[in-house]
Amino acid sequence: MASVTFDAVTKRYGDVVAVDSLDLEIVDGEFMVLLGPSGCGKTTALRMIAGLEDISDGTLRIGDRVVNDVDPARRDISMVFQSYALYPHMTVQRNIESPLLARHYHLDGPDQPARKLTSAERAERVAEAARVLDLEPYLKRKPAALSGGQRQRVALARAFVGRPQAFLMDEPLSNLDAKLRAQTRIELVDLHRRVGTTVVYVTHDQVEAMTMATRVAVMSMGKLQQVGTPQDVYAKPINTFVAQFIGTPPMNCVDAAIAADGTAVDLGAAGRLPLPAGLQARPAAGAPVVLGVRPEHLTLDPAGSLTAVVRAVEWLGHECLIAADLDDRLVTLRQAGMAILEPGAEVKVAVDAADVHLFDAETTERLT
């Protein structure tokens, strides 16, 4: 097991900067999720760890070793690809065995020279991986004869069998159907708990990030936005990008202004909200800000300080989503059960001051 450290790592393709001076330490044994929309640089970052992309600038370490120029096969990592990248002409058994055939391993202690595994050792490792991932009945089959979920487990077994210092996973669940994806999420977390190996996991799906990660690194346009536990990132997003990327439906972020007396957020005809506690600096009266409130924190309450006009109600069974206007600012409210409301109806909405997020209107950075 090992840590993975990015120290001002940059990747350029010609004039395009795919990863911009990334500083990130992935701690030994943690499940780190790199999260962001497509094109944000997360996959490039992962491929740099794997050695499949050269590093333009900066230093990348696995454990204490600088690996910028180390051959991919000698980095002691393994990778699960989005397409699984199984060898279609080989049986499941050969697929799993594959990394053991060509690579050298430090089997006799770190001071002894690395060597290849004997066939008995290989057989033992393959059997173990097949048992852990429930693949024993399929060892003689070829990948084409397996279901998507089984193929995915073969890819995991191939990554697992070499007992690498870190697993790299590039959107491994994106080809599975929703039900299987939910099930595999739990299995992956369970596998990580059992083997304890560092995992670097790339996804654009914030549900995967929230459910599996020890910590999440949110990226956008090649830049790291925020690193933290899923709870931290959800509760204290550092800017409006992170605020709106995490959570479904996303956080409501609407234009507002600091009231003339400087003690509240002014939403025009919709009303006022008290300023949240812990503001780093009190914004000037009348300053434009972005108000952020999560849909579940906007509650229908006859004593609420805001007035909203209902546009539509979507019933999802266990809850409903109410689209409403706060003086022409469209927001979403999430309510348990079913709200019987007609479009056009005026309702009172309450927000706890602790649930109010304020962002700078210009820089989009968090003010609280």
Partner 1 sequence: MSDGTRRRLGRYDAKEVGLATLFLAPSLAVFVVFFYIPFFRLLQWGTYKSVRGGESYKQVGLDQYREVLGGDEFRQGLIHSVQYVLLTVPAGLVLGTLLAVAAHRRLKGIKVYQAIFSSTLASSVAVSSVIFFFLFNPAIGTFQVNWRSDPDMALFAAALPFIWQNLGLAFVIVLAGLQAVPDEVLEAATLDGYGPWRRLTRITLPLISPVLMFLLVILVIVAFQAFPQIEIITNGGPAGASETLVFKIFRQSQDYGKGAVLSVGLFFATMVITFLQFVILDRRVHYGDE
State which of residues 15, 16, 69, 88 lies at the interface with partner 1 (CB under 8 A): 88
Residue 87 interacts with partner 1 (CB under 8 A)? yes
* Among the listed residues 136, 141, 194, 140, the one whose alpha carbon sits nearest the alpha carbon of residue 167: 194
Is 243 in a helix, a strand, or coil?
A: helix
Q: What is the 3-state secondary structure (H, E, C) of 52-77?
A: CCCCCEEEEEECCEECCCCCHHHCCE
50 binds partner 1 (CB under 8 A): yes
Q: Does 114 bind partner 1 (CB under 8 A)?
A: no
Q: Which of 27, 52, 114, 235 binds partner 1 (CB under 8 A)?
A: 52
Residue 3 interacts with partner 1 (CB under 8 A): yes or no: no
Q: Which is nearer to partner 1, 89 or 282 (CB)?
A: 89
Give the footprint of partner 1 on residues 6-35 (CB under 8 A). Answer: none
Count of residues that bind partner 1 according to CB under 8 A: 25
Q: Cα separation of 205 and 121, whole Å?
A: 38
315 scored as a contact of partner 1 (CB under 8 A): no
Residue 77 as a binder of partner 1 (CB under 8 A): the answer is yes
In angstroms, what is the minimal distance from the CB of 103 to partner 1? 4
Work out whether 79 is an interface residue with partner 1 (CB under 8 A): yes
Smallest distance from the beta carbon of 74 to partner 1, in angstroms?
8
Q: Select the span of 7-15, 101-109, 250-258, 333-341 touching partner 1 (CB under 8 A).
A: 101-109
Beta-strand ranges (E) seen in the chain are: 4-13, 16-26, 31-35, 57-62, 65-66, 77-80, 166-170, 198-203, 215-220, 223-228, 252-258, 264-266, 272-274, 288-293, 299-300, 306-315, 319-326, 329-336, 346-350, 357-360
CB of 146 to partner 1, least distance (A): 12
Structure tokens at 200: 């670097």
Q: Write the secondary structure of 185-210 as one string of H (helix), E (strand) and C (coil).
A: HHHHHHHHHHHCCEEEEEECCHHHHH
Q: Given candidates 65, 89, 115, 131, which one binds partner 1 under the rule CB under 8 A? A: 89
Residue placing its CB nearer to partner 1 in the complex, 52 or 285:
52
